[in-house]
């Protein structure tokens, strides 16, 4: 990339995009995007293909789904492609492990076709649907199969990163089978013992031909080998930023059972008056909260700290858990925003995720500043996070795999604790209402989001307040 | 009784308990005091392992610098240093021969002295991480350290560097050993010869960390300068951060260019913050910067700016792709945004004084502190470590934070580092540190550097407060 000889005496005009408040050059009244990459980081140049490797019941699908969820949340379009799924669609009914026997020619043919179909969809996702990362979830236990994938990637200009899970602990494998295989469509009509027995035999079918990633033979490949559910990792040839982030993430997750509790601060004075943001004290109502025995985190805003104080346990303050900065609209009521900044108010309704308050933040900014919180939550066990409406929506979206469009409208009422417990491939949510009245602060997206709308239409969905 | 008190300096709410001990009334801070969560409970010893010239000291110094910058008090203990103090004059490699009993005794004593200082650092100086930099190539030596740490309640994390590429080793020796006090009067060939024999002294007894026998230890093995890593039993947050950092650094030669935006309209008026455009002189600087960068003939230069108009306008003049980072935005001065220092003194004299008392930790009302800046710049530093040639066009406070990281400046110096307008700093890693070259591009600009005044008391008078304010319109 070289500096051109362009005469610098006519610098390009800059205009600020009204939604995201990003400065961009423009010409003839239209924005020019040639020279800018925004959001602070161009994560990937060529798309990346993540390829799982490992015997059945080693957590490949668990890792695939979790990684996909994390990457999408931080803004990297990612999709997983589970070859087993393709097989289930092709072979409508699963009879037994015999399908997977290495001498079952018919079975092998079908499985090869399914892998090809999946790779085809990968190609489409990465080249035509603006995907940046595809997670190819299958056993991929032979060097031959992996070589096929490498060639496919080379032909299409994709980077390849292998994630191998190696585990010989029978207890862990048993637990895996119980948690996720028994509920699989393959075993809906079997009892537990039958299912476990069949699955064990299925694993055996792969064992003889399993060629683990080798330090010498595969030294030119980029990969991470996860051993014994995270006791040990071997990391080889990390090529770029996104691979580095993936490695960091995979090294921080664990499967020890635990629960994460998310709640907002107790009702505050500003909540009662219908004002947003600010740093105020609690109302008398807000001081009733159940006590618990966990790691407790708060923001640095007084209302979350007061809430934590009531629990009488040690807690840690995180500045990054502070509520979204509403900039010039801090401490305003929605009515006041409509009166003073009707254009801003409409833009926000048009794209609430990307909309940035003037001199403030967007939900998209929040996600970026919350990433270290998510990383630390992954490392920890039982944690109670006392935070704020927008922040809680972002954290919840991560755990429940909600899209950017849904995220800003997730319901996170005051005086309700959400208990999240990882189970199988997802997260169980229990909503615990503390039976203490509080004002509603949830504003639905109104029907009319046009800049030209009337005040009444804009304020239609504002919740009641004093 | 617990009270919530608001720290006027840091703008955080702390729970304080009033307790009475005998006749004393003691205030105890229960919640975390700093503005970032504390991740270290027990102190941690990072123990280097590896033959000479494998980059142990390079890693130790860099890691120490990084941890201190992110706010984890860390200190390095280089056993070679202790040996140089005990044995004033280094004769030759024979000192390191495994059958040299006298020398063995001295070396063991040095390691013990270093461990003693580690204890003092943890118990008396509030240190959180100690980097124990020595070869530690035998299981016996490592067992002594493990036992020491266990007895004191310190966590241990090993960092082993394994490398057999003769070119890398030779380059290491050239870069850092020739300048060592051990070889100050030797010519290069002599020194190289001696050092190679020194390495041989360790080779016979070198037992790398064993993946089977040592599977309960926490460690990272770095192979061939980062080609491959083996990570075992990461215990906690700080170890996880250390692993992430070590996996992102590299030794490929490159340079990092730091510059502020060209002079802005608000700069001319002596106003802080805001989002104004470039002044005419600022625009001239942008053009001069383009010429300068072109003249540097930099391979594959990446250009980064903030989201603020003035850095973007500066980058526009270069005519190349650039990336905007919100994390590079100037410090948020909260209620003081777009004020002059005179106005701050008039409207917020107490705030102004508090800032002079502790400029690093001081947080503007509804704004940020330098300490906050470091926290939000950490991903920028991590990416700078991954990258090669980069030009960062940013702002005064931001540039001070980045510079402090590269030049290992402590928190109390950081907010006073000089980062004048229209000057490019070129940082090139060399040996154990960073070479700095400063290029003033000959376009005049206002001075925006305000020194700490003599009187920082809240009750000072305005003249004393405004004494060091630079001139403006």
Residue A103 pLDDT: 93
B287 and A247 within 8 Å at the Cβ level: the answer is no
User: Cα-flanking dihedrals φ and ψ of residue B57, to 5°?
Assistant: -70, -35
Query: Strand B256-260 relative to strand B390-394: parallel, antiparallel, unpaired?
Result: parallel
Q: Tell me what pLDDT residue B247 has.
A: 97
Using the CB atoms, write b or e for B185-199: b if 16+ within 10 Å.
Answer: ebeeeebbebbbebb
Could you say which of A12, A235, A300 has the minimum Cβ distance to residue B228? A235
Whether residue B366 is predicted with pLDDT greater than 80 in this model: the reply is: yes
The answer on pLDDT for A8 being more than 50 is no
In this prediction, residues B150-166 reach a mean pLDDT of 96
Q: Do B320 and A369 touch (CB under 8 A)?
A: no
Cβ pair B37:A231 closer than 8 A? no
**pLDDT of res. B105:** 95
- Asked if the model's pLDDT at residue B23 lies above 80, the reply is no
Is A12 within a domain? Answer: no
pLDDT number for residue B40? 54
Task: Compare A189 and B266 and report the one with higher pLDDT.
Answer: B266
Average pLDDT over residues B356-366: 96
Chain A residues within an 8 Å CB radius of B13: 300, 302, 305, 317
Residues of chain B found within 8 Å of residue A383, distances taken between Cβ atoms? none
Distance from CA of A377 to the nearest CA of B (A): 11
Question: Under an 8 A CB cutoff, do A23 and B318 touch?
Answer: no
Question: Based on the domain organization, do A180 and A219 belong to the same domain?
Answer: yes
Q: Do A164 and A111 belong to one domain?
A: yes
- Place B27 in a pLDDT band, splitting at 50, 70 and 90: very low
Q: How far apart are CA A94 and CA A89, in angstroms?
A: 10
Q: Is residue A315 assigned to a domain? A: yes
At residue A279, the pLDDT reads 56
Q: Is B310 annotated as a binding residue?
A: yes
Whether residue A309 is found in the same domain as residue A206: no
With CB atoms and an 8 Å threshold, state whether A3 touches B319.
yes
Question: Both A243 and A118 in a single domain?
Answer: yes
In this structure, are residues A306 and A281 in contact, taking their beta carbons and an 8 Å threshold?
A: yes
> Are the beta carbons of B247 and A244 separated by less than 8 Å?
yes
- Counting one residue from chain A and one from chain B, the pairs whose CB atoms sit within 8 A come to 159
| B266 marked among binding-site residues | yes
* pLDDT tens digits, B248-260: 999 999 999 999 9
B260 labeled part of a ligand binding site: yes
Residue A276 is predicted with a pLDDT of 66
Q: At what angle do helices A241-250 and B370-386 cross, to 10 degrees?
A: 110
Q: Which of A203, A218, A251 delimits the end of a domain?
A: A251
The encoded tokens of residue A341 equal 């900044």
The answer to whether residue B20 scores a pLDDT higher than 60 is no
The closest alpha carbon to A142, from A34, A263, A25, A54, belongs to: A54
> Chain A residues with CB inside 8 Å of B336's CB?
none
Examine the domain organization and report whether A196 and A267 are in the same domain. Answer: no
pLDDT at B17 over 80: no
Among this protein's residues, is A214 annotated catalytic? no
Q: Please tell me if the domain spanning B44-247 has the same topology as the one spanning B256-466.
A: yes
User: Does any domain span residue A466?
Assistant: no
DSSP B87: S
The reply to whether B444 sits in an annotated binding site is no
Give B368-381 pLDDT, tens digit per residue: 999 999 999 999 99
Set A323, A349, A361, A364: catalytic member: A323
Q: Give residue A43's pLDDT.
A: 46
The total of structural domains in chain A comes to 2
In tens, the pLDDT along B210-248 reads 999 999 999 999 999 999 999 999 999 999 999 999 999
Contact B324 A215 (CB under 8 A): no
Supply the pLDDT for residue A32.
67
Domain boundary at A219, A251, A283, which? A251
Instruction: Give A34→chain B minimum CA distance, Å.
Output: 8
- Give the one of A237, A241, A316 whose C-beta lies nearest to B32's C-beta: A316
Cα distances from A208 to residues A142, A173, A295, in angstroms, run 10, 18, 46
Of the candidates A46, A39, A48, A66, the one whose C-alpha atom is nearest the C-alpha of residue A243 is A48
Asked if A300's CB is within 8 angstroms of B232's CB, the reply is no
pLDDT value at residue A7 = 44
Tell me what percent of the residues of chain B surpass a pLDDT of 70. Answer: 95
Instruction: State whether A310 and A446 are in the same domain.
Output: yes
Quick check: B392 pLDDT over 90? yes
* pLDDT-based confidence at residue A38 (cuts at 50, 70, 90): very low
Query: What is the arithmetic mean of pLDDT over B180-207?
Result: 91
Taking CB atoms and an 8 Å limit, are B325 and A238 in contact across chains? no
- Tokens 């376009």 identify what position? B443
Q: Does A390 share its domain with A446? A: yes
Report the pLDDT value the prediction gives residue B318, as an integer from 0 to 100.
96
Pairwise CB contact (< 8 Å): B243 & A365: no
Indicate which residues of B carry an active-site annotation. 261, 330
Asked if pLDDT for residue B22 goes beyond 50, the answer is no
Domain B256-466 homologous superfamily, CATH? Phosphoglycerate mutase-like (3.40.50.1240)
Residues A245 and A330 both lie in one domain = no
Residue of A8, A305, A376 for testing the chain B interface, max B β-carbons within 10 Å: A8
CATH of the domain at A204: 3.40.50.300
pLDDT of residue A92: 86
By Cβ distance, the residue of A11, A42, A231 closest to B313 is A11
Q: What is the pLDDT of residues B292-315, one digit of tens each?
A: 999 999 999 999 999 999 999 999
A57 and A197, same domain (yes or no): yes
Percent of chain A with pLDDT over 90: 71
Shortest CB distance from A235 goes to which of B231, B290, B324?
B231
Please indicate, yes or no, whether residues A233 and A327 belong to a single structural domain of this protein.
Answer: no
Check whether residue A391 and residue A244 sit in a common domain. no
Sheet with B433-440, edge to edge strand ranges: A36-37, B322-324, B302-305, B390-394, B256-260, B423-430, B433-440
Pair (A270, A239) in one structural domain: no
Residues A277, A283, A289: CA angle, nearest 5 degrees: 100
Which residues on chain B are in Cβ contact (under 8 Å) with A231?
215, 232-233
| pLDDT value at residue B35 | 40
Q: Please name which of B12, B5, B15 lies closest in space to residue B363, comparing C-alpha atoms.
A: B12
- CB-nearest to B324 from A22, A309, A330 is A22
Check whether B265 is labelled as a binding-site residue.
yes
Higher per-residue confidence, B35 vs B70: B70
**Interface test mutation site (partner A, options B326, B333, B398, max chain A beta carbons within 10 A):** B326
Mean pLDDT of chain B: 93
Residues A313-339, mean pLDDT to the nearest whole number: 94
Alpha-carbon distance of B125 to B205, in angstroms, equals 36
Mind listing the pLDDT tens digit for each residue in B170-191?
988 888 888 888 998 888 888 9
Chain A residues with CB-CB distance to B31 below 8 A: 305, 314-317
Is B36 a residue whose pLDDT tops 90?
no
Q: Residue A198 above 50 pLDDT? A: yes
Radius of gyration of chain B (CA): 25
The nearest CA of chain A is from the CA of B191 a distance in Å of 34
Q: Establish if A371 belongs to a structural domain.
A: yes
Residue A153 scores a pLDDT above 50: yes
The answer to whether residue A27 sits within a structural domain is: no
Residue A283 has pLDDT above 70, yes or no: no
Question: Looking at residues B449-469, what average pLDDT do you find?
Answer: 96
Could B277 and A14 be called an inter-chain contact, meaning their C-beta atoms sit closer than 8 Å?
yes
Candidates B383, B223, B439, B216; CA nearest to A42 is B383
Residue A37: its chain B contacts at CB < 8 A? 321-324
Residue ranges per structural domain of chain B: 44-247, 256-466
**What's the CATH class of domain B44-247?**
alpha beta
- Residue A326 domain boundaries: 260-459
Residue A186 scores a pLDDT above 70: yes
Q: Is residue A42 part of a domain?
A: no
Please indicate if the annotation marks B334 as binding a ligand: no
- What is residue A286's predicted lDDT score, i.e. its pLDDT? 41
Q: What CATH number is given to the structural domain containing A433?
A: 3.40.50.1240
State the burial class of residue A190 (Cβ atoms within 10 Å of its Cβ: 0-12, 13-18, 19+).
Answer: middle
Which candidate from A4, A11, A309 shows the least CB-CB separation from B283? A11
């Amino acid at each position: 990339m070289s500096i051109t000889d362009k005469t610098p005496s006519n610098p390009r005009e800059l205009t600020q995009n009204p939604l995201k408040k990003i400065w961009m050059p423009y010409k003839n009244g239209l924005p020019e995007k040639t020279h800018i990459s925004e959001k602070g980081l161009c994560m990937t140049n060529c798309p990346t293909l993540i390829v799982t490797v490992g015997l059945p019941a080693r957590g490949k699908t668990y890792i695939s789904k979790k990684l996909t969820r994390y990457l999408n949340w931080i803004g990297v379009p990612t999709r997983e492609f589970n070859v087993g799924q393709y097989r289930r669609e092709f072979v409508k009914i699963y009879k037994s492990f015999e399908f997977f026997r290495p001498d079952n020619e018919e079975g092998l043919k079908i499985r090869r076709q399914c892998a090809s179909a999946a790779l085809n969809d990968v190609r489409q996702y990465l080249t035509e649907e603006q995907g940046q990362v595809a997670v190819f979830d299958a056993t991929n236990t032979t060097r031959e199969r992996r070589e096929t994938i490498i060639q496919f990637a080379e032909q299409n200009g994709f980077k390849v990163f292998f994630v191998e899970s190696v585990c010989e602990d029978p207890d862990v494998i048993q637990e895996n089978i119980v948690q996720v295989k028994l509920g699989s469509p393959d075993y809906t009509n079997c009892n537990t013992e039958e299912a476990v027995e069949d699955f064990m035999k299925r694993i055996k079918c792969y064992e003889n031909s399993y060629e683990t990633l080798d330090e010498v033979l595969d030294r030119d490949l980029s990969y991470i080998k996860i051993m014994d559910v995270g006791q040990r990792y071997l990391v080889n040839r990390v090529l770029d930023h996104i691979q580095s982030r993936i490695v960091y993430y995979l090294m921080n997750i664990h499967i020890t059972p635990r629960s994460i509790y998310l709640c907002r601060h107790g009702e505050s004075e500003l909540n009662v008056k219908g004002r947003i943001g600010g740093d105020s004290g609690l109302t008398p109502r807000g001081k009733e909260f159940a006590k618990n025995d966990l790691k407790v985190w708060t923001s640095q805003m007084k209302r979350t700290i007061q809430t934590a104080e009531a629990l009488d346990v040690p807690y840690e303050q995180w500045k990054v858990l502070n509520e979204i900065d509403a900039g010039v609209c801090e401490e305003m009521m929605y009515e006041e925003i409509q009166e003073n900044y009707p254009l801003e108010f409409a833009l926000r309704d048009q794209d609430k995720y990307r909309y940035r308050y003037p001199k403030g933040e967007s939900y998209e900014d929040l996600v970026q500043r919350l990433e270290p919180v998510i990383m630390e939550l992954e490392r920890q066990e039982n944690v109670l996070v006392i935070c704020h409406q927008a922040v809680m929506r972002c954290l919840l979206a991560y755990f429940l795999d909600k899209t950017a469009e849904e995220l800003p409208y997730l319901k996170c009422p005051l005086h309700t604790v959400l208990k999240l417990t990882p189970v199988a491939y997802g997260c169980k949510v229990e909503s615990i209402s503390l039976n203490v009245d509080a004002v509603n602060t949830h504003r639905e997206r109104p029907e009319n989001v046009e800049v030209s709308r009337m005040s009444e239409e804009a304020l239609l969905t504002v919740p009641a307040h004093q | 009784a617990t009270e919530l008190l608001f720290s006027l300096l840091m703008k955080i709410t702390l729970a304080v308990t009033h307790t009475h001990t005998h006749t004393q009334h003691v205030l105890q801070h229960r919640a975390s005091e700093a503005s970032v969560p504390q991740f270290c409970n027990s102190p941690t010893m990072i123990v280097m392992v590896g033959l000479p010239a494998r980059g142990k000291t390079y890693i130790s110094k860099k890691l120490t610098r990084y941890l201190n910058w992110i706010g984890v008090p860390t200190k390095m203990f280089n056993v070679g240093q202790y040996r140089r103090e005990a044995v004033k004059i280094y004769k030759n490699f024979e000192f390191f021969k495994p059958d040299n009993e006298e020398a063995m005794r001295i070396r063991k004593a040095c390691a013990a002295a270093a461990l003693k200082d580690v204890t003092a650092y943890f118990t008396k100086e509030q240190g959180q991480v100690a980097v124990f930099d020595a070869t530690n190539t035998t299981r016996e030596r490592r067992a002594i350290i493990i036992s020491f740490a266990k007895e004191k309640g310190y966590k241990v994390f090993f960092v082993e560097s394994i490398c057999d590429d003769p070119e890398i080793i030779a380059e290491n020796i050239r870069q850092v050993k020739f300048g060592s006090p051990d070889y100050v009067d030797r010519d290069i060939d002599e020194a190289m010869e001696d050092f190679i024999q020194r390495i041989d002294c360790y080779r016979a007894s070198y037992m790398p960390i064993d993946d089977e026998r040592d599977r309960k230890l926490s460690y990272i093995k770095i192979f061939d300068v980062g080609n491959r890593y083996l990570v075992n039993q990461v215990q906690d947050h700080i170890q996880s951060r250390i692993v992430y950092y070590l996996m992102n650094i590299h030794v490929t030669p490159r340079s990092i260019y730091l510059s502020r935006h060209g002079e802005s309209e608000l700069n001319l008026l002596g106003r802080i913050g805001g989002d104004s455009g470039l002044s005419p002189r600022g625009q001239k600087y942008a053009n001069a910067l383009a010429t300068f960068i072109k003249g540097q003939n930099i391979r594959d230069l990446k250009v980064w700016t903030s989201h603020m108009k003035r850095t973007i306008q500066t980058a526009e003049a270069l005519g190349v792709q650039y990336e905007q980072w919100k994390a590079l935005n100037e410090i948020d001065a909260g209620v003081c945004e777009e004020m002059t220092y005179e106005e701050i003194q008039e409207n917020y004299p107490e705030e102004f004084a508090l800032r002079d008392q502790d400029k690093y930790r001081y947080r503007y009302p509804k704004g940020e502190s330098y300490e906050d800046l470091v926290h939000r710049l950490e991903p920028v530093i991590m990416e700078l470590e991954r990258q090669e040639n980069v030009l960062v066009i940013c702002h005064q406070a931001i540039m001070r934070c980045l510079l402090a990281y590269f030049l290992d400046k402590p928190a109390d110096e950081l907010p006073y580092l000089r980062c004048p307008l229209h000057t490019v700093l070129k940082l090139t890693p060399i040996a154990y540190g960073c070479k700095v070259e400063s290029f003033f591009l000959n376009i005049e600009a206002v001075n925006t550097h305000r020194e700490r005044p003599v009187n920082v008391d809240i009750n000072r008078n305005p003249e004393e407060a405004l004494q060091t304010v630079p001139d403006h319109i």
